[in-house]
């Protein structure tokens, strides 16, 4: 293992660091032997640093795809009790507030798509703004911005970018309560004004995918997934607004920490007591950021439906589900038999409520919440379902993706965008991107094996494997 911190192999997929020094709780990492041996040293250091924060409950967790993050490891989960001086951390949510994935059915199959794949790829690339300098078609006025930050995907549906049925299939029914647009700075709003309905860049994408395997007939049936189905997955977040909120509150929390008697083990772990002016301001702004991400994915869904209406009239793009993986949410969890209200940070980790949870849409409730795991470009993605055990394991959380295995710099030294695009084309995968360097940075080989990460999550009990998806078209910024 790449760490000097003593790590105990507690159970087959569970690794534990006992509290020592200023740690208030243990650090627990879910992984296979191979995954944990591949984890960089910072994962262990950061999981232990999180365990030192005031008001942390039960443990500081890391998911099977954990890697070096900002204060929190990416793949980090930690819950705090406000009544015990618990904190909220901007680093524990990240710069891309509510970055997440939504998956749409199409009702189509490979034989429908294949003859028009290039045409579809070009149409999606043209119609959905992506990449540096891109602008959405929607330009929000001051009052529209406020309404969007308060209403999220619900606002977007009210503007005509979808239906009520969509909202049923989004976390928080598409609208995060407690958003305070007034706590979002003018700079953040200015950064977002012209970016509604844009995809972003880096590891963000819109993919056309085929269901190549299902692993649980009952759950796959409930989720409407059959082998051969074509689905669409959209991975993006709160765009410039979320990034600006993250930037501003990180500084605010670093500067105010001393005043709240918080000793930061690491400046990146900037945080504030939940019951404080800074803490409450951040929660209000972060919730507005969540709404921005939900609205953004709703608008991109609408743009995608417009493309399909032209090329495949009659195709119904119904929403399976929309998950977020950079949030802090107030949730009820059972700790030692007692219900407690906790602020659960998931940084590069996905909520995974188990069967019976009231927040899951009624049609899916007996089966567990869909958990959408994005793969790296050109490999595979997975759909899982939340389990009952996940609550005691990690406050109903699962991994969010493959996680990077190497830096962007190293990736561009090993791979060249042009040859990658050509190699993927030979395999039947069409890539559309404005930058070949961007493609190289996202090379499949630069990421961990998503199948291994998902297998670990399944066998650890965090979420159950339901379906494997392979890409046909990948549009990125």
CB–CB of 46/78 below 8 Å? Answer: no
Please give the Cα distance from 86 to 10 (Å, whole number): 27
Nearer to other proteins, 353 or 447 (CB): 447
Q: Is 89 helix (H, G, I), strand (E, B) or coil?
A: strand
Say whether 400 is catalytic: yes
Question: What is the Cα gyration radius of the chain?
Answer: 21
Alpha-carbon 326 to chain mean position: 6
Q: Does residue number 177 form part of the binding site for other proteins (CB under 8 A)?
A: no
Comparing CB distances to other proteins, the nearer of 247 and 392 is 247
How far lies 457's CA from each of 5, 15, 219, in Å?
Answer: 23, 13, 17
Give yes or no for residue 3 binding other proteins (CB under 8 A).
no
The torsion defined by the Cα of 379, 381, 387 and 391, in degrees rounded to 10, comes to 80
Helices 277-311 and 142-158, packing angle to 10 deg? 50
Does the protein bind other proteins through residue 435 (CB under 8 A)? Answer: yes
Q: Between 67 and 287, whose beta carbon lies closer to other proteins?
A: 67
- Residue from the set 13, 80, 95, 161 that interacts with other proteins by CB under 8 A: 95
CB of 215 closer than 8 Å to CB of 326:
no
Tell which one of 404, 432, 464, 468 touches other proteins (CB under 8 A): 404
What gap in Å lies between CA 229 and CA 2, rounded to an integer? 41
Residue 132: other Cβ atoms inside 10 A: 10
Nearer Cβ to other proteins (203/387): 203
Binding region for other proteins (CB under 8 A) out of 173-181, 198-206, 356-364, 384-392: 198-206
Q: Which CB, 328 or 439, lies closer to other proteins?
A: 439
The tokens describing 95, both together, are 């710069």
**Residue selected from 240, 265, 279, 289 as contacting other proteins according to rule CB under 8 A:** 240
**Residue 127: Cβ-neighbour burial (10 angstroms; 0-12, 13-18, 19+):** middle
Among 54, 86, 131, 273, binds other proteins (CB under 8 A): 131
Question: Going along 130-280, which residue ranges are E strands?
Answer: 205-214, 229-236, 271-273
β 74-80/56-67 pair status: antiparallel
- 254 near other proteins, judged by CB under 8 A: yes
Does residue 40 bind other proteins (CB under 8 A)?
A: yes
Give the Cα separation of 173 and 438 in Å (integer): 34
Q: How many residues touch other proteins (CB under 8 A)? A: 46
Q: How many angstroms from the chain centroid is the CA of residue 31?
A: 19
Smallest gap, in angstroms, from Cβ of residue 234 to other proteins? 17
Residue 373 to residue 121: CA distance in whole angstroms: 22
**CA-based nearest residue to 292, from 203, 409, 204, 197:** 197
Note the maximum CA span of the chain.
64
Q: Quick check: 456 binds other proteins (CB under 8 A)?
A: no
Nearest CB to other proteins, comparing residues 40 and 144: 40
Q: Which of 11, 41, 255, 363 binds other proteins (CB under 8 A)?
A: 255
Q: Are strands 430-432 and 463-476 parallel, antiparallel or unpaired?
A: parallel
CB of 236 to other proteins, least distance (A): 11
Nearer to other proteins, 84 or 144 (CB): 144
* DSSP 8-state assignment for residue 384: E
Contact call for residue 246 and other proteins (CB under 8 A) = yes
418 binds other proteins per the rule CB under 8 A? no
CB of 413 to other proteins, least distance (A): 10
Using rule CB under 8 A, residue 214 touches other proteins: no
Residues 277-316 that bind other proteins (CB under 8 A): none
Write the interaction track for other proteins spanning residues 51-80; mark x where CB under 8 A is met and - where it is not.
Answer: ----------------xxxx---x------
Examine residue 116 and tell whether it contacts other proteins (CB under 8 A).
no
Q: Which residues are CB-contacts of 159 (< 8 A; sequence separation ≥ 6)?
A: none
Q: Does 406 bind other proteins (CB under 8 A)?
A: yes
CB of 271 to other proteins, least distance (A): 13
Minimum gap (Å) between residue 215 Cβ and other proteins: 29
Residue 29 makes contact with other proteins by CB under 8 A:
no
218 binds other proteins (CB under 8 A): no
- Determine the distance from the C-alpha atom of residue 301 to the mean position of all C-alpha atoms in its chain, rounded to a whole number: 17
Q: Does 122 bind other proteins (CB under 8 A)?
A: no
Could you say whether residue 117 binds other proteins (CB under 8 A)?
no
| The one among 24, 109, 117, 187 contacting other proteins by CB under 8 A | 187
Q: Would you please indicate which residues are annotated as catalytic (active-site) residues?
A: 400
Residues that bind other proteins (CB under 8 A): 40, 67-70, 74, 94-96, 131-135, 187, 190-191, 200-202, 240, 243-244, 246-247, 250-251, 254-255, 267-268, 270, 404-410, 434-438, 441, 477
């Amino acid at each position: 293992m790449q760490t000097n911190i003593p790590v105990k192999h507690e159970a087959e997929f569970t690794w534990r660091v006992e509290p020592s020094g200023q740690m208030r709780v243990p650090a627990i990492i879910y992984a296979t032997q191979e995954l944990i041996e591949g984890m960089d040293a910072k994962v262990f250091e950061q999981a232990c640093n999180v365990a030192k924060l005031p008001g942390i409950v039960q443990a500081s967790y890391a998911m099977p795809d954990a890697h070096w993050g900002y204060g929190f490891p990416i793949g980090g989960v930690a819950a705090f009790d406000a009544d015990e001086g618990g904190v909220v951390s901007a680093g524990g949510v990240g710069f891309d507030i509510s970055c997440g994935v939504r998956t749409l059915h199409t009702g189509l199959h490979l034989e429908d798509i294949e003859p028009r794949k290039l045409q579809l790829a070009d149409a999606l690339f043209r119609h959905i703004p992506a990449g540096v300098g891109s602008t959405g078609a929607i330009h929000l006025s001051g009052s529209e911005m406020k309404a969007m930050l308060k209403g999220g995907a619900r606002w977007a549906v009210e503007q005509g970018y979808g239906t009520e049925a969509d909202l049923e299939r989004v976390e928080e029914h598409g609208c995060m309560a407690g958003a305070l647009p007034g706590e979002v700075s003018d700079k953040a709003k200015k950064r977002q004004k012209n970016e509604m309905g844009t995809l972003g860049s880096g590891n963000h994408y819109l993919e056309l995918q085929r269901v190549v395997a299902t692993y649980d007939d009952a759950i796959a049936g409930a989720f409407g997934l059959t082998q051969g189905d074509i689905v669409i997955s959209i991975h993006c977040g709160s765009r410039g607004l979320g990034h600006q909120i993250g930037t501003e509150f990180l500084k605010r929390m670093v500067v105010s920490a001393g005043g709240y008697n918080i000793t930061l083990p690491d400046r990146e772990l900037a945080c504030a007591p939940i019951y404080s002016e800074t803490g409450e301001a951040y929660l209000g702004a972060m919730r507005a950021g969540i709404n921005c991400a939900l609205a953004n994915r709703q608008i991109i869904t609408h743009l995608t439906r417009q493309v399909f209406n032209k090329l495949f009239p009659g195709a119904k793009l119904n929403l399976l589900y929309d998950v977020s993986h950079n949030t802090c949410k107030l949730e009820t969890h059972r700790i030692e038999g007692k219900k407690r209200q906790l602020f659960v940070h998931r940084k590069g980790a996905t909520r995974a409520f188990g069967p019976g949870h009231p927040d899951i849409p009624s049609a899916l409730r007996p089966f567990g919440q869909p958990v959408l795991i994005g793969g790296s470009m050109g490999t595979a993605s997975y759909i899982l379902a939340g389990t009952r055990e996940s609550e005691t394991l990690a406050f109903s959380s699962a991994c969010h993706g493959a996680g990077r295995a190497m830096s962007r710099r190293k990736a561009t030294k090993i791979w060249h965008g042009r040859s990658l695009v050509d190699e993927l084309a030979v395999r039947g995968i069409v890539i559309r991107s404005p930058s070949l360097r961007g493609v190289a940075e996202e090379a499949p080989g630069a990421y961990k094996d998503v199948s291994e990460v998902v297998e670990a999550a399944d066998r650890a009990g965090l979420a159950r494997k339901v379906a494997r998806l392979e890409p046909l078209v990948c549009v990125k910024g």
